[in-house]
Structure 1
Amino acid sequence: MVLANTEANGEELVGDAHLLPASTVGQKTGETIKSYLLSDRNPTATIFFEGTKLGVEPAPVVAAFSSRGPNSITPEILKPDVIAPGVNILAGWTATDSRRTEFNIISGTSMSCPHVSGLAALLKGAHPEWSPAAIRSALMTTAYVTYKNGRKLQDVATGNDSTPFDHGAGHVDPVAALNPGLVYDLTAEDYLGFLCALNYTDTQIKSVARKNYTCDPRKRYSVTDLNYPSFAINGGGNLVIKYTRTVTNVGPAGTYKVSVTPNQTPGVKITVEPETLSFSQAVLKRSYTVTFTASSLPISTNRFARLEWSDGKHVVGSPIAVSWT
């Protein structure tokens, strides 16, 4: 049996267990086989094992089944956060009867989630004082978005370069995450303010926070105030939007300089104030403001960029997505 992918899965090959001898091929190969079957009166085929292949490139790639942005619930928060190994993973398998094996090749979020969870536990063990938000920040700001040859991470569903709506901040890098330099931290109060910005009622907030909490009617809440390690800008027509972020130094004293790439994003001007952040042993937190000035573009247009702070050793990266909705 030959199983050919549809357009939804493209050229991605996922290992599945079959009762019949089977081989899976990508969409393009499948179309070639179908054309051959329809054009030859006596089509024949042979399936044989070519052995294990190592060093297959490009790798990693964004899986065809991977969840994509933009965030449909709160578009001001860029999703996904990161990507991690989740295709053709050897994993434990529930043995419900004697015909089942103890292991299987599994793909999906159910595989990438334990990878990231394990990395979070690793970071917590190395830095027990870090909050969950600091751990997430370390994983996001140190994730990589290019291969060693400088080419951007590929999206196997399209065969094109992936975007922050596909890979988020990038592919996790556990070694770099142990020493991120700076982190974007959050407290429980920050999340409560976020719920207020979403117009949650006192009863709804209590169901989440497990305590009584009332939003301050004198305060102006905004979802953009959440100290997240990424930027998502949404709107129509001409836009002038400012985001303020606070970074916490978890490394040695030093001075970080900002850069935005590409520095000329069509239709969008991005400025950062200040352009340098200095940290001494006594000063652990600094804030900065990013101003996005965008001209009017057609609805559903997206522009992407990347903001990085670097002290020459650490690179603290944040993805940027600007969408006209």
Structure 2
Amino acid sequence: MGPVPSKWRGYCDNSTGDGIPCNKKLIGARYFNKGILASKPHLNLMNTARDTDGHGSHTLSTAAGGYVPGANSFGYANGTARGGAPGAYVAVYKVCWDVGCSFADVLAGFDAAIYDNVDVISVSLGAGPEFSGGTEFLDNTIMLGSLHAVAKGITVVCSAGNDGPGNRTVGNVAPWMITVAASTVDRDFPSSLTLGNQQIIKVYMLYCSSVVPLIFFYQFTSQETQSLPQNQLYPLINGWDAAAPNKTLAAFCNTSSLDPGKVKGKIVICMLNDYISRIVAGITVKDAGGAGMVLVTNQYWGNKLFPDAHVLPATMITYKDGFTLFSYMNSTKNPLGNISPSTTRIGVKNSPTMADFSSRGPIYKMPEILKPDVTAPGVDILAAFTEFKSPTDFDGDTRRSPYFFLSGTSMACPHVSGVAATLKSAHPDWSFTAIKSAIMTTASTKDNMNMAIRDYNGIKATPFAYGNGQIRPTLAADPGLVYDNTIEDYLNFLCTLGFNATFLRSFTSNLNFVCPSKPMKLEDFNYPSIAVAALNRTIVVTRRLKNVGKPGTYSVRVEAPRRVNVAVIPPVLAFSRVGEEKVFSIALMSRIKDKKEKGFKFGRLVWSDGNHEVRSSIVVKVVA
């Protein structure tokens, strides 16, 4: 790394023994806890920006970590890891603690980052979908802090939330931020459960077994054991058949529920229970002398599998595969099986797919703006992890891993933050809205088999899940055209929501700012996607494009929503210089007469000059 940029005004808080010294990569490290201590004065907090949870280390290294050869977690996904912007300088602002986050501390973190002159703020936290419309829009400190940040030209990237897969669950919905959904990657960890009748149930998840600690009364030791020998079959037993006397919940392998005399040397089948930790189930089996564990998901989770750093040879199978397993076990007096260790597989087809947990649109109270904006990798992401705790988060577990797999929109967000930092470096003259537009309009709605991105359940996903699509960082560096806005455009947007100009002037250097005499139509806000909240026969919306590339002529192509006519005027835009702007209109007319056909319809608008494609999702709710 070169010298610290001259514009930098931050520092590392190294005033205590737990402090963090700066270096040429990490040029800022601060913590903020006055807010949380004001509400909970008796808390005993470690006054340091050090990460004791793993979440911050993981997200920071994903955004801008340097090259690390041989990065892996318990031997899985071994290879060279790097963040999205490995050459970027980084600063950390710790605003959350084990007991939660204070709004005051979050806002203080924003203020510090703004003062320090950062270029990108990555925010892998959120307050949920309830803060999403009207004048309560800025009651949320992330909304408010991010508005202050973008007013200073800073790009803000936020996670969409983990409240999916239901609609209207998306959070962090301000139009000035980039809201990121989560999708899978083309890597998995295949394993298998082999049954005594030679049936094989294939599993695609982690099975951490190369170093398996022995557990006695939740005390972990460093003694190593090996994976189950693959030339041997082990007796299988259901948890409910292995119940200890007077114990309940043995089917779920609850703590101390299993009889060692029935379990020793066997693979125990445990049913998934949302109130009993999967790790605890494994500990219970191990404490009872079990050789391994198979977790079977319940009907609610269906095909969802969870990767865990288990304490014994273990795997997890789907609800459907559970029927295959139980059918075999009921067909013989001596059911047998074996669990193979996982391997790492690259190039999984039909990737990405949307993560089930990823929050979905439309926005609860403001459907005229489509959120999330884009999707990025957020499932089983390998990145840096704290060594303050074990991957299982159990006190007695002495295992430590400098890298670990985590899933969430928190993991997807820093992928986009890294792209934003790279674009800012390549195009320092671009506004934060140009960076956002470039990322959005170059995103793809196709997977690696050139098929439509699917949702977690195998059904074709919609823009409510992925926004404009999966990010494509290389294309974002040369988008051709962008949907650009000024801070005043965002203030006009807030005027439409009911905010007054006196309040909004604090976000702009224009002290004469006034709200328009005629409020703008929210559908006309110059957003890189198009959303119509209520199409009653016909509506016309407008957009404005700016050329950031070579001179060129762009023609429009429309993939119209079903039973909706779309006309774009003009259908051709010619740009002769960088910075030139053109306005166009989109007329949408419903052809639906049957009430049963009303509802949300999806399409796409694409401007192309033969070298670039400027893509926008279209979402229309037909009401008449």
Q: TM-score normalized by structure 1?
A: 0.89
**How far has the Cα of 1:181 moved from its partner?**
0.4
State the partner residue of 2:475: 176
The question of 1:286 aligning with 2:586 is answered no
Distance 1:259 1:130, change over 3 A: same
**SS of residue in 1 equivalent to 2:400:** coil
The question of 1:268 aligning with 2:568 is answered no
Does the Cα contact within 8 Å between 2:602 and 2:619 map onto a contact in 1? yes
Residue in structure 1 matching 2:463, options 150, 156, 164: 164
State the partner residue of 1:242: 540
Q: Percent identity?
A: 44
Deviates more, 1:8-17 or 1:60-69: 8-17
State the partner residue of 1:120: 420
- The letter for the 2-side match of 1:72 is Y
Does the Cα contact within 8 Å between 1:14 and 1:107 map onto a contact in 2? no
Question: Distance between the aligned counterparts of 1:109 and 1:300, measured in 2?
Answer: 31
**Structure 2 spans left out of the alignment, 5+ residues:** 1-292, 390-397
Question: Distance between the aligned counterparts of 2:314 and 2:503, measured in 1?
Answer: 51
Question: Distance between the aligned counterparts of 1:277 and 1:256, measured in 2?
Answer: 5
- The letter for the 1-side match of 2:460 is D
Q: Deviations over 1:171-221 (max 9, x none)?
A: 000111010000001110011011111112457646776997875362222
Q: Deviations over 1:63-122 (max 9, x none)?
A: 111111112131000111110011111122222255432221101111111111000001
Does the Cα contact within 8 Å between 2:374 and 2:471 map onto a contact in 1? yes
**SS of residue in 1 equivalent to 2:337:** coil
Question: Distance between the aligned counterparts of 2:314 and 2:607, measured in 1?
Answer: 50
Residue in structure 2 matching 1:62, options 351, 354, 363: 354
State the partner residue of 2:309: 17
Residue in structure 1 matching 2:381, options 47, 65, 89: 89
Does the Cα contact within 8 Å between 2:349 and 2:448 map onto a contact in 1? no
Question: Distance between the aligned counterparts of 2:553 and 2:449, measured in 1?
Answer: 29
State the partner residue of 2:255: none
Question: Distance between the aligned counterparts of 1:4 and 1:88, measured in 2?
Answer: 20
**SS of residue in 1 equivalent to 2:419:** helix
Distance 1:308 1:7, change over 3 A: farther
State the partner residue of 2:393: none
Residue in structure 2 matching 1:73, options 342, 345, 365: 365
- The letter for the 2-side match of 1:320 is I
State the partner residue of 2:435: 135
- The letter for the 2-side match of 1:189 is E
**SS of residue in 1 equivalent to 2:372:** coil
The question of 1:256 aligning with 2:554 is answered yes
Deviates more, 1:250-259 or 1:143-152: 143-152
Question: Distance between the aligned counterparts of 1:28 and 1:319, measured in 2?
Answer: 35
Aligned residue-pair number: 321
Question: Distance between the aligned counterparts of 2:529 and 2:519, measured in 1?
Answer: 22
- The letter for the 2-side match of 1:172 is I
Residue in structure 2 matching 1:301, options 590, 599, 606: 599
Distance 1:225 1:45, change over 3 A: same
The question of 1:310 aligning with 2:602 is answered no
Does the Cα contact within 8 Å between 1:255 and 1:278 map onto a contact in 2? yes
**How far has the Cα of 1:299 moved from its partner?**
8.2
**How far has the Cα of 1:45 moved from its partner?**
3.1
State the partner residue of 1:145: 445
Which of these two proteins has the greater Rg computed from alpha carbons? 2
Distance 1:22 1:272, change over 3 A: same
Q: Deviations over 1:137-175 (max 9, x none)?
A: 1111111111354311111x2211111111111100011
Q: TM-score normalized by structure 2?
A: 0.48
**Structure 1 spans left out of the alignment, 5+ residues:** none
- The letter for the 2-side match of 1:145 is T
Distance 1:183 1:7, change over 3 A: farther
Does the Cα contact within 8 Å between 2:363 and 2:370 map onto a contact in 1? yes
Question: Distance between the aligned counterparts of 1:175 and 1:8, measured in 2?
Answer: 39
Distance 1:94 1:148, change over 3 A: closer
Distance 1:102 1:149, change over 3 A: closer
Distance 1:151 1:90, change over 3 A: same
- The letter for the 2-side match of 1:125 is S
**SS of residue in 2 equivalent to 1:255:** strand
> Which runs of structure 1 show a deviation greater than 6 angstroms over 4 or more consecutive aligned residues?
206-214
Greater relative contact order (Cα 8 A, min sep 6): structure 1 or 2?
Answer: 1
State the partner residue of 1:30: 322
Distance 1:269 1:299, change over 3 A: closer
- The letter for the 1-side match of 2:601 is R
**SS of residue in 1 equivalent to 2:376:** coil
